[in-house]
Amino acid sequence: MARTVVDGLDMTGKARGMLLRWQRSIRGDWLGVVHYQVHYADGRPRPRIFRDQLVPGYALEPRTDSVPLG
């Protein structure tokens, strides 16, 4: 049974972020160190910002806007 927590974070779709730098893993994979924002499911006007997070390179793509996060 699917359940929705009304005040939870909406982790579906893509998140806007900012790439700070690239880091290599011991296996040679590329990881991006990023800040990104995630919106709340209840429609709050300000998203939650997660800073200095490691994200696999394959999950990153260039942004098409230049609007600041937040």
In tens, the pLDDT along 6-58 reads: 889 988 889 999 999 999 999 999 999 999 999 999 989 999 999 999 999 99
pLDDT given for residue 36 in this prediction: 96
pLDDT given for residue 6 in this prediction: 80
Spatial CB neighbours of 49, under 8 Å, sequence gap ≥ 6:
35, 36, 37, 69, 70
Identity of residue 7: D
pLDDT given for residue 50 in this prediction: 96
Q: How far is residue 26's CA from residue 44's CA, in Å, rounded to a whole number?
A: 39
Spatial CB neighbours of 40, under 8 Å, sequence gap ≥ 6:
7, 8, 9, 10, 47, 48
